[in-house]
Amino acid sequence: MIKPKILLATFAGIPSSFSFFCPDPGLAALAAVLRKHFYELSILDFNSLQTIDECMSETKSSCVNEFVRQGVSKQKENVLAAQDDAKWAYLGAVEKYMHRCMREQVLAKNCDLLCVKPWLGHSLAIFLRICRALKTEFPKLKIAFGGPSISSIGSEILQHLHSADFVCMGDGEEAIVSIVRYLQGILSLDPITNTWFIDENKEYCGNGIHRNITISSAPDPLYDDQIDRSLIDGKLPMFVIEDSRGCFFSCPFCAHPGIGDKQVRPAEPERVFETMMSLSARFRTHAFRFSGSCPSPSFLNGLSKAVTKIGEKF
């Protein structure tokens, strides 16, 4: 039986914080379950220094000249306009770079499934345009959208994702494996949860969101520079550790309620520490941060006890 080849891609937009340059924990979680089933995959993480180096070199000279020219004029509105022009020039260069890289990867790997993780704003618009072009060039390529932003918006996003064959909300580990098994002819679409797909009436339908994944039952996240080249020299050596899913609160500005509901599913402190130790040994880092919205005191106490047992400094 031929196993589908999968490409995972993400881009968050213009860097706004150091977390932009952290290795992506969501893609690492999906990579882990796909590798567990021996599927062939690759990752294009455009939240990297390589993206900035590649795209700034194309726009830097013209942007600097414009900044200087407008700065000399001492007119605030002109300077702000120049900044806005620079932003759009950079995003235009990023879009061309992403399109080229994704197209090359689809061709080189003969990909069957492209899974994209956009974020709200420029990222989503860029991915929509790229996926529309790729779908036109490669009609047999299946495209899935997912990630925190898609989950937090909910079903309202479906009307905008015309190039997507699948839209995943909530936990993605079971959904992506089920989609791949569907592409293999092993599984029908009907029982798949957390996934919306286009039916015979050209409309999206799905079976709702079911949050069955516990962090303890999921495999350890897979960070492999053979499938994600951004890990070589394009990322900060600081890993995001999943301490929980879900949140007790419902803050309107936060994506956590849409991602994990109000039922908090904590991780086991001992296993989290084992993951931290493994990453520390491989990537020579002692810098980590938690992805949960509010780590519980019991989790932090348990993790502290695990750390003090061996005297490691984190």
CB 223 within 8 A of CB 273: no
Q: In this structure, are residues 228 and 9 in contact, taking their beta carbons and an 8 Å threshold?
A: no
Choosing from 159, 190, 206, the residue where a domain stops is 206
Q: How many domains does the chain have?
A: 2
Per-residue pLDDT reduced to its tens digit, 178-216: 899 999 988 887 777 888 887 777 778 887 777 767 777
Return d(Cα 223, Cα 308) in angstroms, integer. 26
pLDDT of residue 61: 56
pLDDT tens by residue, 246-255: 788 877 777 6
Q: What parts of the chain have a pLDDT lower than 50?
A: 64, 67-68, 72
The verdict on residue 276 lying in a domain is yes
> Are 172 and 298 contained in the same domain?
no
Measured CA to CA, the distance from residue 263 to residue 178 in angstroms comes to 24
Neighbours of 29 (CB within 10 A): 22
Domain enclosing residue 178, as ranges: 5-51+92-206
Pairing of strands 5-11, 113-118: parallel
Is the full-model pTM beyond 0.85?
A: yes
Q: What's the helix, strand, coil split of the chain in %, to 5?
A: 50, 15, 35
Query: Do 260 and 114 share a domain, yes or no?
Result: no
pLDDT for res 264: 81
Look at residue 87 in the predicted model and tell me its pLDDT.
Answer: 79
Question: Do residue 28 and residue 134 come from a single domain?
Answer: yes
- Quick check: is 219 in a domain? no
Point out the domain boundary residue: 186, 206, 226: 206
Distance CA 118, CA 212 (A): 23
What pLDDT, on a 0 to 100 scale, did the predictor assign at position 1?
A: 54
